[in-house]
C-alpha cells in the first residue's frame, strides 16, 4: 500500500497527545502510520488520510 501525503501537511501536523513532530513509517509491506517522535503513539493512515485521534492510535511497545 503506497501512501501519498502532502509534505506540507507533514510539516504542520503534530501529535495531539504531546504536540511533538510525527514521522511517516511503513512501506509496501508494512501498514503506513504516523509515529510520534515524543510519546511513540502511532496514528493510522486510512485512504491517504491521517487519523489523528488518540483513541485510534496504537500504543508504543
Domain positions in the chain: 7-56
Residue 60: pLDDT band (50, 70, 90) is confident
Do the strands 33-36 and 42-46 form a parallel or antiparallel pair, or are they unpaired?
Answer: antiparallel
Q: Which CATH class is domain 7-56?
A: mainly beta
How does pLDDT run across 2-58, given as a tens digit for each residue? 788 888 998 999 999 999 999 999 866 678 899 999 999 999 999 889 999 999 999
**Whether 35 contacts 56, CB under 8 Å:** no
**Whether 41 contacts 54, CB under 8 Å:** yes
pLDDT at site 1 = 56
pLDDT at site 5 = 86
Half-sphere exposure of 19 (CA within 13 A, CB side): 0
Please identify which residue in the block is written with the cell numbers 483513541: 55
Q: Give the integer Cα–Cα distance in Å for 49 and 7.
A: 13
Amino acid at each position: 500500500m503506497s501512501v501519498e501525503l502532502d509534505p506540507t501537511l507533514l510539516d504542520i501536523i503534530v501529535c495531539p497527545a504531546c504536540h511533538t513532530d510525527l514521522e511517516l513509517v511503513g512501506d509496501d509491506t508494512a501498514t503506513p502510520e504516523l509515529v510520534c517522535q515524543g510519546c511513540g503513539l502511532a496514528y493510522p493512515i486510512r485512504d491517504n488520510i491521517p487519523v489523528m485521534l488518540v483513541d485510534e492510535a496504537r500504543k508504543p511497545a
